[in-house]
Amino acid sequence: MRARLTALAVAATALAVPGATSAAHASDNGLSVRPAMGWSSWSFVRRWPTEAKIKAQADALASSGLKDHGFVYINLDDFWQKCDSNGFTVDSYGRWAVDTSKFPSGIKALADYVHGKGLKFGFYVTPGIAKNAVTKNTPIEGTSYHAKDIADTSKTEKNYNCKNMYYIDYSKAGAQEFVNSWANQFASWGVDYLKIDGVGSADVPDVQAWDKALRATGRPINFALSNNLPIANATTWKKLANSWRTQGDVECYCGSGSNGSGYPLTDWSHVSSRFGTAASWQQYAGPGGWNDLDSLEIGNGDQAGLTADQRRSMFTLWAMAASPLLLGTDLTNLNSTDTAMLTNDRLIGVDQDGVAAGRIVNSGVKQVWRKKESNGDYVVALFNTGTSGNSTVSVNWSQVGFSGSASVTDLWSGKATGTVADSYSATLRPGETRLIRAHPL
Instruction: Write out the catalytic residue numbers.
Output: 197, 249
Cα angle for residues 384, 389, 393 (degrees, 5° grid): 35
Indicate the angle between helix axes 175-189 and 107-116, nearest 10 degrees. Answer: 50
Residues 232/201, Cβ–Cβ less than 8 Å: yes
Amino acid identity at 214: L
3-state secondary structure of 255: coil
DSSP 125: E
Tabulate helix, strand, coil % of the chain (nearest 5): 35, 25, 40
Residues 175/134, Cβ–Cβ less than 8 Å: no
- The whole-angstrom separation of Cα 49 and Cα 43 is 11
Largest pairwise CA distance in the chain: 73
- The whole-angstrom separation of Cα 289 and Cα 240 is 9
- The whole-angstrom separation of Cα 191 and Cα 176 is 20
- The whole-angstrom separation of Cα 364 and Cα 276 is 12
193 membership: H or E segment, kind and range? strand 193-196
- The whole-angstrom separation of Cα 317 and Cα 377 is 18
Residues 202/156, Cβ–Cβ less than 8 Å: no
The per-residue b/e assignment along 32-46, b for 16 or more CB within 10 angstroms, e otherwise, is bebbbbbbbbbbbbb
